[in-house]
Amino acid sequence: MKMQKVTKIGVLTSGGDSPGMNAAIRAVVRTGIYHGLEVHGIMRGYQGLIEDDIQLMESRSVANIIQRGGTILKTARCKEFFEYEGRKKGYENLKRRGVNGLVIIGGDGSFRGAVQFSKEFDIPCIGIAGTIDKDILGTDFTIGFDTAVNTAVEAIDKVRDTMDAHDRIFIIEVMGRDAGYIALHSGIATGAENILIPERKTDIDQIVESLLEKERRKKLVNLIVVAEGDDFGGADAVQKVLKEKLPMAEIRICILGHIQRGGSPSCIDRLIASRMGYHSVECLLEGRYNIFVGIQNNKMNYIPLENAVKNKGKISEEWMKIVKILAS
């Protein structure tokens, strides 16, 4: 299917919100306007696409948003878009307005929808990774990850103060249903003795043994950072076993939850969001359709959007070795 020259574009945010999405929206809108394109903001992701909740954006529409968390376009999970009839409704709404290019800011689920949509209709799509999980292939960082990790680190540092005062074992649960990057990075940055992530099977007996060994050395302050998607069941399940195995130890849990998804984006997240948003529009203008826009080694990296969906980034063995050595 031959795609026509892009003259009007739409931008939407889909899936979980992440700090820096507004910076990306701002970059898409202002880059598009700079090149003489008409830019439409699609509210509530694919749901707004289906319901025709679409509005024309001007340069002032994105004023004073770069520092704000969340997304001014809102976001929603849309089951209707899973069906062909739902996608067709969305296409007809775009066609009626003359929109012939889309920028999707979201995660792998959002990209799957974009790949299917683009296959069925003559709408080129560009994907930008807006997710705190950092689990998309083709980019060193995703929009929101740096802010989320710094939020977790700040919270864990504060918990450490009370840990140290009371000689306690603390289990901190961070977000990461399918990916352990937040747990890994925040755990290393805060000196965690154990880091539990979905990508590795948790050996609870080994954790118990290491804590007993530390207890013999009078090292009573221990931090365990666990991703919510850890195969053992998260902080509650880990605490239950440790209380049984270490009856004399004081063990507490702290679940950070959605605090990690909010807040003003960090400088890094604002920069990469602005850069990715700019290049997403450039891709559409250059005829580079159905591309995922990422940054690797501080350079723009472009891969087929379908590849970003099929493959996830992998946590290297080097990181796991670092955790083991530094936690001793």
First to last CA, the chain: 58
Residues across the chain:
328
Q: Quickly tell me which residue has 């840990």 as its tokens.
A: 163
Q: Which two tokens stand for residue 169?
A: 């074992």
Q: Quickly tell me which residue has 């580079």 as its tokens.
A: 288
Alpha-carbon Rg for the chain in angstroms: 22
Tell me 143's DSSP state. Answer: B
Q: Quickly tell me which residue has 């394109």 as its tokens.
A: 37
> Is 199 strand, coil or helix?
coil
Contact (CB, 8 A) for 17 and 267? no
- Which residues have C-beta within 8 Å of that of residue 206, sequence separation ≥ 6? none
Residue tagged active-site, from 52, 53, 108, 133: 133
Say whether 133 is catalytic.
yes
Calpha distance 208→28 (Å, rounded): 50
Cα-to-chain-centroid distance, residue 228: 14
**Active site positions, annotated:** 133
